[in-house]
Structure 1
């Protein structure tokens, strides 16, 4: 049996993005095409995930209630989250009414 959760290039992009986040090198212009997740909340599973209404997702479109892949980085002050597959800009939270 062979199991591959994610391709190496996806994981490589994730590691690059986490390095940018750790060094404080994130630029707002890098996220202008990232989907926005409204009414988001963290799902209490064995791994952190987000659930919310998405806007501008390249595959899922706009207005759908989605659950993301695993969250590896989240900064509510910046309004950003990095999942396994992509960055999300965080709209208003379902729990706090803020990012």
Structure 2
């Protein structure tokens, strides 16, 4: 009998998360775990040729080997560049009369 690993395959949408626990043979890859989990049938919108995958938040190639208790994550494409989103929040906060989120007290409100 060959050794097996327990791994989880995870895909998160804005309103729901799919987490599938499976056993894979020792030496299995990220791709093999994704295929064995059936997550691609449940979420046909996943396109592994365009979307990144990783293990515990670190991007990995599909042929990366797995270890026992790894969590394989399938990442959705970013809608907005994180740096740009932060700059928009800062600009909005400044327009509202504060600097980096700290409201300054006016002389009248003390």
TM-score range, shorter chain: under 0.3
Larger Cα Rg: Structure 1 or Structure 2? 2
Q: Which has the higher helix share?
A: 2
Q: Which has the higher strand share?
A: 1
User: What TM-score results when the alignment is normalised by the length of structure 2?
Assistant: 0.21
User: What TM-score results when the alignment is normalised by the length of structure 1?
Assistant: 0.23
